[in-house]
Amino acid sequence: MSLFVGDRVPTPVVGLNMRLLIRLGILFPKWAFQQEEDPPVRPRHRGHATFILLLVLPTVGLMIPNLAAAQQESRETGRFLFIYNAQDREHVDTLANLLDGVFSDLEGAFGTFPWPKLPVYLHPYAEYRSRFGNASDAHYTPQERAIHIGYVAMTPRSTTDLRMEAYVIHEAAHAFQHALTGLHPYAGSPIWFAEGLARYCERHFVRNSPFPTAIAPQQVLSPLDANPYENGYQAIDYLIARAGMGSIAQLFGRIANGVPFAQAFTQTYGLTIPELQAALRNR
Ligand SMILES: [Zn+2]
């Protein structure tokens, strides 16, 4: 976590502000330079200029940390800790109010989230991509137990945003699985299960999702991990229809008690994973 707030001291911005202050004549008033450039300088004036500089420099020194701190803010809600650029405060407020309610619904489905508030870092898109690569627009990091989201525009209803609510809830589903099983989602279950469950949460819990929410049951002809998001969604939808939402919490509980996934899965659903695949292929 220290990775993020700490390494954002914007040195180019400090340089820019120094240049701006110089240009505006605040840091080095023009007459101060003229006093130094003029050959026949009277010592009284040179001393005056030095005195002004000594007075001004500590003030600028005090301003720089404030400028840096103004870049990022954090906001704690009932369930989340958002870390974001100060200019996005208003949108984060809207998002936070929506998401707290959705998070409570997830707790109703899976069980109480046992960790403190879930950190959500909101990054401007270019920054997210330069920092985390091009593989995704959002991710959950088990090491940090935090969510990172890259956004194009912080406008939860616009067509250009990256569907903030759905993205946060997708990643929050991974955090739930991690918290309730004690295992990184990809280490504690197949990828189709982790991504299918996260997609299921996007579709069933986010209140104003711009993504399609009603996906009809479909045959799954390829192996589940061949398309872990959509095949996984079909599998999770099938399992919850068959055994109820509470079955996910039962499965998580078994994994938390050390039962390997495949065995815990069969104990919970009365099916092996190949039998699940056959059922999805033949329906
Ligand atoms: Zn995911």
Q: What is the pLDDT of residue 53?
A: 53
In contact, 196 and 234? CB cutoff 8 Å: yes
CA 166 / ligand 1 centre spacing (Å):
11
CA 76 / ligand 1 centre spacing (Å):
24
At 21, is the pLDDT very low, low, confident or very high (cuts 50, 70, 90)? very low
Closest CA to 283 of 229, 224, 217, 228: 217
CA 267 / ligand 1 centre spacing (Å):
25
Q: What is the pLDDT of residue 55?
A: 55
CA 139 / ligand 1 centre spacing (Å):
7
pLDDT per residue over 261-278, tens digit each? Answer: 999 999 999 999 999 999
pTM of the model: 0.73
Q: Do the bridges between strand 72-76 and strand 80-85 make them parallel or antiparallel, or are there none, so unpaired?
A: antiparallel
Residue 138 dihedral angles phi and psi, to the nearest 5°: -160, 150
CA 184 / ligand 1 centre spacing (Å):
12
Interval 164-176 mean pLDDT: 92
Q: What is the pLDDT of residue 6?
A: 28
CA 140 / ligand 1 centre spacing (Å):
8
CA 152 / ligand 1 centre spacing (Å):
19
pLDDT per residue over 194-227, tens digit each? Answer: 999 999 999 999 877 777 777 899 999 999 999 9
Q: Is the pLDDT of residue 11 over 70?
A: no
Rounded to the nearest 10 degrees, the angle between the axes of helix 246-256 and helix 261-269 is 140
The dotted CATH code for 72-282 is 1.10.390.10
Give the chain as a 3 state SS string.
CHHHHHCCCCHHHHHHHHHHHHHCCCCCCHHHHHHHHCCCCCHHHHHHHHHHHHHHHHHHHHHHHHHHHCCEEEEECCCEEEEEEHHHHHHHHHHHHHHHHHHHHHHHHHCCCCCCCEEEEEEEHHHHHHHHCCCCCEEEECCCCEEEEEECCCCCCCCCCCCHHHHHHHHHHHHHHHHHHCCCHHHHCCHHHHHHHHHHHHHHHCCCCCCCCCCCCCCCCCCHHHCCCHHHHHHHHHHHHHHCCHHHHHHHHHHHCCCCHHHHHHHHHCCCHHHHHHHHHHC
CA 69 / ligand 1 centre spacing (Å):
32
CA 231 / ligand 1 centre spacing (Å):
13
CA 247 / ligand 1 centre spacing (Å):
20
Say what percent of the chain tops pLDDT 70.
71
At 137, is the pLDDT very low, low, confident or very high (cuts 50, 70, 90)? confident
Q: Average pLDDT over the chain, rounded to whole?
A: 79
Q: What is the pLDDT of residue 9?
A: 31
User: Higher confidence at residue 186 or residue 9?
Assistant: 186
In contact, 257 and 250? CB cutoff 8 Å: no
CA 82 / ligand 1 centre spacing (Å):
19
Q: Is the pLDDT of residue 12 over 60?
A: no
Q: What is the pLDDT of residue 269?
A: 98
Give me the sign of the Cα torsion angle 173, 179, 185, 190.
negative
CA 197 / ligand 1 centre spacing (Å):
9
Q: For residue 258, how far is the Cα from the chain centroid?
A: 29
Q: Among 13-17, 125-129, 133-137, 207-211, which is the least confidently predicted range? A: 13-17
Give me the sign of the Cα torsion angle 76, 79, 81, 87.
negative
In contact, 120 and 146? CB cutoff 8 Å: yes
Q: What is the pLDDT of residue 15?
A: 39
Q: Which residue has the tokens 């959950």?
A: 140
CA 68 / ligand 1 centre spacing (Å):
33
CA 161 / ligand 1 centre spacing (Å):
18
CA 195 / ligand 1 centre spacing (Å):
5
Q: For residue 160, how far is the Cα from the chain centroid?
A: 18
Q: Among 19-23, 84-88, 121-125, which is the least confidently predicted range? A: 19-23
Residue 122 dihedral angles phi and psi, to the nearest 5°: -105, 115
User: Higher confidence at residue 214 or residue 142?
Assistant: 142
* Domain map (residue ranges) of the chain: 2-69, 72-282
Q: Is the pLDDT of residue 231 over 80?
A: yes
Q: What is the pLDDT of residue 20?
A: 43
CA 246 / ligand 1 centre spacing (Å):
21
Residues 6+ apart with CB under 8 A from 166: 202, 206, 209, 210, 211
Interval 31-35 mean pLDDT: 34
Q: What is the pLDDT of residue 89?
A: 86
